[in-house]
Structure 1
Amino acid sequence: MEALRRRLRTTGAPPLHKEELSRLTIPNRIFAAVYASAVVTLLYHHAVTLSSLLLQSKTDIPPLFISTALLVSDVVLAVMWTTSQSFRMRPIYRKEFPEKINILLNNKECEEEFPAIDVFVCTADPYKEPPMNVVNTALSVMAYDYPAGKVSVYVSDDGGSALTLFAFMEAAKFAAHWLPFCRENDVVDRCPEAYFASANLSSSSSDIDKIKTLYESMKVRVENVVEKGKIDDGYITKEDECQAFDKWTDGFSRQEHPTVIQVILDNNKDKDITSHVMPNLVYISREKSKASNHNFKAGALNVLIRVSATMTNAPIILTLDCDTYSNDPQTPLRVLCYLLDPKAESQVGYIQIPQRFHGINKNDTYACEVKRLFFINAIGMDGLSGPNYVGTGCFFRRRVFFGGPSKLVLPEMVELGPDHVVNKPIQSKQVLDLAHCVAGCSYENQTQWGHKIGVRYGSLVEDFFTGYRLQCEGWKSILCNPVKAAFYGDSPISLVDVLNQQKRWAIGLLEVTFSKYSPFTFGTHNMGLIMGFTYGHYSLWPIWSIPVAIYAFLPQLALLNGVTIFPKISEPWFILYLFLFVGAYGQDLLEFVIEGGTFQRWWNDQRMWMIRSLSCGLFGSIEYSLKSLGISSAGFNLTSKVNEAEQRKRYEQGVFEFGLHSPMFVTLTMVAIINLAALVWGLKLALLGSKYAFEQRFMQVILTVFVVVNCRPVYAAMFLKTNKGGIPAKTTLISTFWAISLFVIGFVASRS
């Protein structure tokens, strides 16, 4: 890399990137000061109200409970708002100029100066993660605009499936045709599936027809094998291919099997049909034993770091999810624009590219774009120490996994160190023996892997935790956010899948919050207050469930029982509440639209925030609490059993997909029922009651209207369910029972 840096310096090339401070920075800081004053005033109001109740000679329990609940709710909101301001202190925008490096690609003398890249692709189940999706991901990065001899793709199959290995053997044969086709035709969509489905592919030619036929033939063979669950002898003709499957004996299972490492393509030997070098392609299934802890994806990534170190030990590592294919062949050149900067050489540990998704419907019904996490907040963190690692689309310096910038932590073997030079062929016996050794399930025992080196263990959200720990060690990161998406991944198309995924995140984030590495103690000490607050905001995400649950139930139950809990319209405190609500939502909408969102997408995003808080956030917190207390939790995992074609049709129509009974849906349905009842009562009060009574409860009615509008998909699923995606009758009955129970409890308490 240093040679390439020197060459750029001697050619007098202008800067490879630039950065610009957001114009919202100063307005954000001014607004934060004003809004903070309003928050402090509201908390003061709560404190005065609560203290006056406590000082009464005879304290009524219901008013005391309501005041305490509102105080707790607003304290949590204040904490979350305070930590969120860290993202708004110094947001920056960056731009790269890869064309300046691209010129050197045409110079054969310069090719050897480009740094090698090891690409890690992780998969775990050929039925949940179809091998053809994984194959497309691998092919898209093998076809990068980058010296092929400098690229090595390592596929981690944690399911230990012969079907996945077969798929990649087929992919290697197709790659010999696909890579030269991309070069000769200057193809932009290097993912075959995306290329052949592209609307731009309007014309047909013999070359296109030929390569498409080869792809479809490969796809049919792979999908047939997956459907049958076995590989017919007719598909395996060569002796070396037969030997590759020898380890799949009768005792081989996904939970118990030896290490399998298969070098499918070797750039020292394999050439494409035009005699060009092909990238390395290596299949890895680490050893599994029921007696060993495998640490999920984090453990798989650490095996990839070690195995790749024995074979190629490239200074740059790219991690990808199995469904995240490359959408821009020049992405590595964009990354080099930062890594070749001498100022960044000793401090920048990784370059994170925002995750983008294809297949999202027009209005993003389930807020799967996750714009705040991947774009808005990431831009804010980029102006501090850099964005967090989001698990895919991230280019690391290999050195980052071995201690901080100023403190190198060496592994137990010199061959695994970041500076080790591999001088033996990847298929040599010595290299393969060492690779099998470091992929063993007991190899990490009594080592620092997962603790001080490698991807870090200790949380279900290994990506978040690892990025956080790396930045605590002193590394910085950079957000590379090009206009053209660098990668595209798959997004969930049902509410079931969205909530399952985010409940797992909620549990993992709480594991970080209440560990010795808490962002509020360990983080602020090592990164500073503002940067520590960015990670603290994420780690506290599940506790949004507290204020959302309180404001979704308490004011409405009070309204139904004739109890006033908010100021009247004529009181000054009403203006304060109005400012806090409009200010928070208005700022959120402004940021969302500036980053390319629409009002309808923003509305769906804030609705999903409420839904997540009342479901996966709430139940994730409960599951974490039970786990921390040593109590076995029953779990609230859902399994979607609806035909995917039916799901896709409803998703494209913007219809919410429920379909299954779950406790997570019970809370949502309870909120919908109670708020609808409260709205009817509020309208009755407005039409038939006194003006004074309605003015007293105006804020409660408005809040109820807001929740009811957000619950529109729930009502449609309850009352207009004409398909399998509706809310089951069981869920509705249980929710109705608990809603009535809450009303009765509130009624008795208010009359006592």
Structure 2
Amino acid sequence: MIEPPSMVINTVLSVMAYNYPPEKLSVYLSDDGGSDLTFYAMVEASRFTKIWLPFCNKFKVEPRSPEAYFRTAAEPLEDPAMAKEWSSIKTSYEDMKKRIETTTERGQISEELRKEHKGFSEWNSVSSRRDHQTILQILINGKDPKAVDIEGQPLPTLVYLAREKRPQYRHNFKAGAMNALIRVSSRISNAPIILNVDCDMYSNNSASARDAMCFFMDEENGHEIGFVQFPQAFENITKNDVYGSSLNVIMEVEIPGFDGHGGPLYIGTGCFHRRDTLCGQKYSKEYKADLKGGNDRKVEESASVLEETCKVLASCTYENNTQWGKEMGLKYDCAVEDVLTGLAIHCRGWRSIYFNPERKGFLGVAPTTLLQALVQLKRWSEGDFQIFASRYCPFVHGYRKTSLKHQLTYCIYLLWAPTCLPTLYYVVVPSLCLLRGISLFPEISNPWILPFAFVISVHRAYCLGDFLWWGGTFQGWWNDQRMWLFKRTSSFFFGFFDNILKLLGFTKSAFVVTAKVADDDVSQRYEEELMEFGASSPMFTIIATLALLNAFCLVGGMKRVIMQEDVQNLLSNPFALQILLCGLLVIINLPVYQGLFLRKDNGRMPTSITQRSIMFALLACALALY
């Protein structure tokens, strides 16, 4: 439901249609939901590739996700032959999409459809999506001479995998799924380069595989490169980026800075890896890999034999008493297994490359509600700080393995979560002290105000300049400042204290998948850039409480100042800076006040949160006063 099959197959089709020799491409889908609906969509996609790939190659289609292409491309009326083929392919795609969506809405595969492929029989013995055997189906066998498109050209190999899951065994979330894919692919194709891409990040550039290979095959430095990371970019960002999801400053400014210190971190999607580095290979000057020779493994077994022999590689017990999840594959027991795995690869001596072409390599879907954005940021900050507070801390694990500069660059993100503490201090303490009549900052006429003014003005101007330089708007920057406040006081706060609880043994790691689709009314509010509060969450309770606390303190503080005799002399007023800070927090929280008291739509703040936040804010003010 949160990762629809129609979205998944568009990502699959976009990478199958790479401008790359199809006999050297193998595409594997890890379906950790174990859904026969997703498998049905893959069967439909495997048939559609026979007409889609020739069409892409013939007309140089970009992007090669059918949904994205037909949504943006205009019918080529100037060329009747192409227009006819274009219309035919579009009709075929829409028919396929309609069949998939109709079946998905129905929630089950009809008996008629089950007879179309032997793979559906695998679900006869599935009790639940968390308790089933390995389901492995080679939908297109690239080694089969019969696996060709309508023009007789070979097709890439296409494999569906739902690894075995049993309630009594830990499955290690995304990292476990990736490691199962690494093992299964080593038996079927064993390609030396692996692209990892999330289901919602379709390929937007058919040359991405060739671009990545240029780095790996560089005659001078290619042997040093462990992975090539493309940036995360999103196609559904609104004009003013209401949830600050574009990550433009991070992707365009911060991560490129890693290149001078050993290379960027691995961000979990849009990344081309050497298979050897993912399997624990240490870098040495003598290391050589023949990338020109294609796949190392030349297996002549039939697809049915391969399916049976590979199932054990994705079983629950295969990793017992092995180094998988420790020294091999993606690391386990971390919410951001990608960052931890990338750090481990760097500590084995490999470099990485950040490649950000003008035409983005991959486009995904950004969160369309505030809660989705905050939950995602909570997982990132929690996992990052978990790394810092463990034996994998860059200063410990990376000691004498990577440069100090590289260790420090990692800490930009690993220390996200603790920034909740100073932020909460500045949001709460100056406001309560204003209400209580305690001055914290120098008077505006005092020379000691200059350091405060310098830091505030230069830092904000620098952030604004960065944001505008990379295509943002002033309103977008202001929204980003609001999200900066929200994420530090909610996402980072929960991420920080969840880590403390984990260290004390009270909680365990979890992995939350954010929804990739939204209801029509939610999507409409997102397009209108109205903040979506329509859910009950402790994060919203904190945000609303802090917003009301600052409003109450501003009113109380202004009342105190107005009642003073020297109100005319603002420059000598000891509370001027606190009033300015508190007023700024009130202005930045205006959408919260609207959600609490003014809005009537389904995206307003739930009544229960409004009541709790008023009570908590009044209690804090009462404690400060009395």
Q: Given the two structures, how large is their TM-score scaled by the length of structure 1?
A: 0.78
- Residue 309 of structure 1 aligns to a residue in which SS? helix
Partners of 1:642 and 1:152 in 2: CA distance: 28
- Alignment match, 1:483: 358
- Counterparts of 1:196-235 in structure 2, within 5 Å, are 196-201=70-75, 203=77, 205-235=83-113
Q: Which moved more, 1:596-605 or 1:569-578?
A: 596-605
Q: 1:301 aligns with which of 168, 178, 184?
A: 178
Q: 2:443 aligns with which of 568, 573, 577?
A: 568
C-alpha contact (below 8 Å) 1:636/1:662 kept by paired residues: no
Confirm whether residue 348 of structure 1 aligns to residue 348 of structure 2: no
C-alpha contact (below 8 Å) 1:542/1:618 kept by paired residues: yes
Deviation at 1:433? 3.8
CA displacement, residues 604-645 of structure 1 (integer Å, 9 cap, x when unaligned): 122111100111111222222223323359999899999610
C-alpha contact (below 8 Å) 1:495/1:657 kept by paired residues: yes
Confirm whether residue 741 of structure 1 aligns to residue 619 of structure 2: yes
C-alpha contact (below 8 Å) 2:229/2:271 kept by paired residues: yes
CA displacement, residues 224-245 of structure 1 (integer Å, 9 cap, x when unaligned): 221112111222444xx1x212
C-alpha contact (below 8 Å) 2:427/2:546 kept by paired residues: yes
Partners of 1:491 and 1:571 in 2: CA distance: 46
Provide closer, same or farther for how the CA distance between residues 680 and 636 of structure 1 changes in structure 2, counting only shifts above 3 A.
Answer: farther
- Alignment match, 2:424: 549
- Alignment match, 1:111: none
Q: Which moved more, 1:311-320 or 1:181-190?
A: 181-190
- Alignment match, 1:465: 340
Partners of 1:172 and 1:276 in 2: CA distance: 15
- Alignment match, 1:164: 38
- Alignment match, 1:631: 506
CA displacement, residues 412-438 of structure 1 (integer Å, 9 cap, x when unaligned): xxxxxx998212136356643431121
Partners of 2:525 and 2:431 in 1: CA distance: 32
Provide closer, same or farther for how the CA distance between residues 594 and 136 of structure 1 changes in structure 2, counting only shifts above 3 A.
Answer: same
Partners of 2:538 and 2:40 in 1: CA distance: 41
Provide closer, same or farther for how the CA distance between residues 428 and 140 of structure 1 changes in structure 2, counting only shifts above 3 A.
Answer: closer
Confirm whether residue 335 of structure 1 aligns to residue 216 of structure 2: no
Provide closer, same or farther for how the CA distance between residues 162 and 635 of structure 1 changes in structure 2, counting only shifts above 3 A.
Answer: closer
CA displacement, residues 89-110 of structure 1 (integer Å, 9 cap, x when unaligned): xxxxxxxxxxxxxxxxxxxxxx
Confirm whether residue 128 of structure 1 aligns to residue 6 of structure 2: no
Partners of 2:295 and 2:151 in 1: CA distance: 33
Partners of 1:372 and 1:315 in 2: CA distance: 33
- Counterparts of 1:185-196 in structure 2, within 5 Å, are 185-196=59-70
- Residue 123 of structure 2 aligns to a residue in which SS? coil
- Residue 195 of structure 2 aligns to a residue in which SS? strand
Confirm whether residue 180 of structure 1 aligns to residue 54 of structure 2: yes
Amino acid at match of 2:206: P
Unaligned runs of 5+ in 2: 288-292
C-alpha contact (below 8 Å) 1:264/1:283 kept by paired residues: yes
Provide closer, same or farther for how the CA distance between residues 636 and 394 of structure 1 changes in structure 2, counting only shifts above 3 A.
Answer: closer
Provide closer, same or farther for how the CA distance between residues 228 and 741 of structure 1 changes in structure 2, counting only shifts above 3 A.
Answer: same
Provide closer, same or farther for how the CA distance between residues 513 and 634 of structure 1 changes in structure 2, counting only shifts above 3 A.
Answer: closer
Q: 1:702 aligns with which of 572, 575, 580?
A: 580
- Alignment match, 1:147: 21
Partners of 1:491 and 1:634 in 2: CA distance: 24
- Alignment match, 1:652: 527
- Alignment match, 2:485: 610
Q: 1:513 aligns with which of 373, 388, 393?
A: 388
Identity over aligned pairs, percent:
39
C-alpha contact (below 8 Å) 2:217/2:223 kept by paired residues: no
- Alignment match, 2:191: 314
- Alignment match, 1:87: none
CA displacement, residues 556-608 of structure 1 (integer Å, 9 cap, x when unaligned): 11111111011111222211111111222222222223333332222212211
Q: 2:415 aligns with which of 518, 531, 540?
A: 540
Partners of 2:303 and 2:55 in 1: CA distance: 31
Partners of 2:480 and 2:298 in 1: CA distance: 52
CA displacement, residues 433-470 of structure 1 (integer Å, 9 cap, x when unaligned): 43112111110111111111111113111111111111
- Alignment match, 1:383: 260
Deviation at 1:500? 1.5
Deviation at 1:699? 0.9
- Counterparts of 1:358-507 in structure 2, within 5 Å, are 358-401=235-278, 402-406=280-284, 421-425=296-300, 427=302, 431-507=306-382
C-alpha contact (below 8 Å) 1:355/1:489 kept by paired residues: yes
Q: 2:593 aligns with which of 693, 699, 715?
A: 715
Provide closer, same or farther for how the CA distance between residues 740 and 636 of structure 1 changes in structure 2, counting only shifts above 3 A.
Answer: farther
Partners of 1:726 and 1:520 in 2: CA distance: 45
Give the length in aligned residue pairs: 611
CA displacement, residues 102-146 of structure 1 (integer Å, 9 cap, x when unaligned): xxxxxxxxxxxxxxxxxxxxxxxxx11001111000101111111
Partners of 1:591 and 1:731 in 2: CA distance: 36
Q: 1:583 aligns with which of 434, 447, 458?
A: 458
Confirm whether residue 274 of structure 1 aligns to residue 274 of structure 2: no
Partners of 1:198 and 1:638 in 2: CA distance: 28
- Alignment match, 2:290: none
Provide closer, same or farther for how the CA distance between residues 151 and 640 of structure 1 changes in structure 2, counting only shifts above 3 A.
Answer: closer
Amino acid at match of 2:72: S
Q: Given the two structures, how large is their TM-score scaled by the length of structure 2?
A: 0.93
Deviation at 1:340? 2.0
Unaligned runs of 5+ in 1: 1-126, 410-417
Partners of 1:135 and 1:651 in 2: CA distance: 25
Provide closer, same or farther for how the CA distance between residues 638 and 277 of structure 1 changes in structure 2, counting only shifts above 3 A.
Answer: closer
- Alignment match, 2:401: 526
Partners of 1:306 and 1:634 in 2: CA distance: 24
Partners of 2:84 and 2:204 in 1: CA distance: 24
Amino acid at match of 1:437: V
Provide closer, same or farther for how the CA distance between residues 645 and 133 of structure 1 changes in structure 2, counting only shifts above 3 A.
Answer: same
